[in-house]
Amino acid sequence: MVALPTDQSGGLAVAVSDPVQVRIDADGAHSPTNERGGESVIEFPEPVDGQVARFDLDRTTDWVTAELTRPRYSSGTPMRVVGQCDGPDPEVLLPIEVVLWPTGDVLASTQISCDGDEAGDEIEIPADAGATLDIRLPSIPDGVGRAWVSLEPATPES
């Protein structure tokens, strides 16, 4: 697999891995689950107004589907990270980081339980951040069928 991530200076870098089977269609890029995901009862909600970034992961079929919205600038409004994770062990936690894009500097971190319930935390973004924000999931526990995470205003816009 070849990827073109953005490096620290904002330019493009090249990352190459061992060969991986990938299917690309109108819904994005998909890779085989290799038994890492399971069934899920959660559904992906509609995006809220003012959403800054969102990540949706579905490993309930033969192919993994992962979709990340493009990050955008966040104003100085209070923000929250909210999400839902469904896995076989409700004690398992999904780590979430709010990062400065494109450098990847971590501005805040939180976690949600993979018990299938929606959860979230209001987060403090440094006042001098004033930049494009993104969300990153540093690891996804085995057995998680579906997960979604959103970075959005603490009080959604009406």
pLDDT at residue 150 tops 90: yes
- Better pLDDT: 53 or 124: 53
Cβ neighbour number for residue 17 with a 10 Å cutoff: 8
Angle at 54 between CA 69 and CA 99, to 5 degrees: 95
Mean pLDDT, the chain, rounded, equals 78
Give the pTM.
Answer: 0.72
Backbone region of residue 30 per phi and psi (left: phi > 0; alpha: psi in -120 to 50; beta: other values): beta
Kindly write down the DSSP assignment for every residue of 110-135, as one continuous string.
EEEESBS--EEEEE---TT--SBEEE
